Amino acid sequence: MSATPEIVTRAEQPYVAIRARVTMSELPGLADRLGEVFGWLGARGIAPAGAPFFRYDVIDMARQLEVEAGVPVVSAVDGDGPVSSGVLPAGRYAIFTHVGPYDGLVEATRTLLDWAAGQGLTWDMQPEEAGERWGSRLEIYLTDPSQEPDVSKWETQLAFRLAD
């Protein structure tokens, strides 16, 4: 894992994604949908503008998550079929980079959440009946597993938007 979390300012970022409601046990299967998003982009001649990500819109770890499997694009495009479009909001984000297999992301997330609590930071998140609704909570997959088979070298950046 990276040494310490930090705060960065991110510009807004258009993206396309497939949305899904999944349980924690179903979450790994959502990664397979990223291939559909890349295929959709390729069929339209649209190049990705960055690494793929999961955006956690609503989190209730015990019941269900509302998640988007997305890919950033240079400018807004209209989605169709299972692919929708959106914009990641600009703002201040707390970030933390996890190095290693994906099963370490729960611990990495705890590290980031605990660090922010210790700093007195407030998340862009509202509790609601379905769970915690986040303004922007991302897992950005910086390493392509097809290019780097060694899971100990995979890098995943957590980027959680802070409240203004």
DSSP 146: T
Contact 75, 46 (CB under 8 A): no
User: What pLDDT score does 2 carry?
Assistant: 53
Q: Which two tokens stand for residue 101?
A: 């297999």
pLDDT at 127 over 60: yes
Question: What pTM, to 2 d.p., does this model score?
Answer: 0.94
pLDDT, tens digit, for every residue of 75-87?
Answer: 999 999 999 999 9
User: What pLDDT score does 1 carry?
Assistant: 47
For the range 25-31, what are the long-range contacts, defined as Cβ-Cβ under 8 Å and sequence gap of 24 or more?
A: 27/65, 27/67, 28/102, 30/54, 30/67, 30/69, 31/69
- The highest-level CATH class for domain 6-161 is alpha beta
Break the chain into its structural domains and give their ranges.
6-161
Contact 77, 14 (CB under 8 A): yes
| Lookup result for tokens 């390493």 | 143
Round to whole Å and give the CA distance between 140 and 70.
9
